[in-house]
Structures are given as C-alpha cells and as structure tokens.
Amino acid sequence: MFGKLGDLANLMKQAGAMQARAGAIRDELKAQIVEGSAGGDMVRVEADGSGEIRNVMIDPEVFAEGDRGFIETLIAQAVNDALDKGKALHREKIEEMTGGLSLPGMDKMMDQFFGR
C-alpha cells in the first residue's frame, strides 16, 4: 500500500517539475522572435514565440500601389506566416520538454494556444 503512495508522491513531484519547466518554456518563447513575410518581403511581421505580434514593417512601395485589398492580403499572409513559425517554435520546445514524446491532442492544444 505504501509503495503506491510513494509512486503517487513521485508522480506529483514529476508533475511539479514539468509545470516549472513549462513556465520556463513560456518565458523562453516570449523572448524569441520569429519573422513572417509576404510579397517578397514587401510586408514583414515579427512575432514572439507565444504568438504575440511585435512589429509590422511595410515597404513604402506597397503604398505606392494604392491597392488597399492588396495591402490587406499581404499583411494577413505575413501575420499567418509569422504565427506559423511561432507555432513551430512552440512545438519544438514542447517536444524538447517531453523528450520527443507525441502527446494526443497536441495539435488541438497548439491551435487553441495560438487562437486558430
């Protein structure tokens, strides 16, 4: 009976360590910047690894075109590119934490994390 309590205590200890590591990973991701682009780098978007957009850079040439729809499309594409790269970075960190173990529902969790 006490053996099972020891196993439970060990499991709780491991869960606490995983939670602490997850917090450290969140901090690491927040500090890492990825860049998405569209239109041959006419629009570039920087995001952090947690999915927050940090900066949007638009080549002045894009405005010379004067096509609002074109600009909006490029911005959306660049944002999606940056978020996809951030999502990949996040997935890499999770795989590091789990030792490459693929967890059921990971893709769904990642989509919720990035609001998609």
pLDDT tens across 29-81, in order? Answer: 889 999 999 999 999 999 998 889 999 999 999 888 788 999 999 999 999 99
* pLDDT tier for residue 83 given thresholds of 50, 70 and 90: very high
Nearby residues of 46 by Cβ (< 8 Å), 6 or more positions away: 33, 34, 35, 53, 54, 55, 56, 57, 82
Pick the residue with more confidence: 116 or 13? 13
Contact 93, 49 (CB under 8 A): yes
Contact 36, 83 (CB under 8 A): yes
Distance (Å, rounded) from C-alpha 91 to C-alpha 104? Answer: 13
Mean per-residue pLDDT over the chain, rounded: 82
The CATH code for residues 2-113 is: 3.30.1310.10
Instruction: Give the pLDDT score at 77.
Output: 97
Distance (Å, rounded) from C-alpha 70 to C-alpha 75? Answer: 9
What mean pLDDT do residues 94-115 have?
A: 64
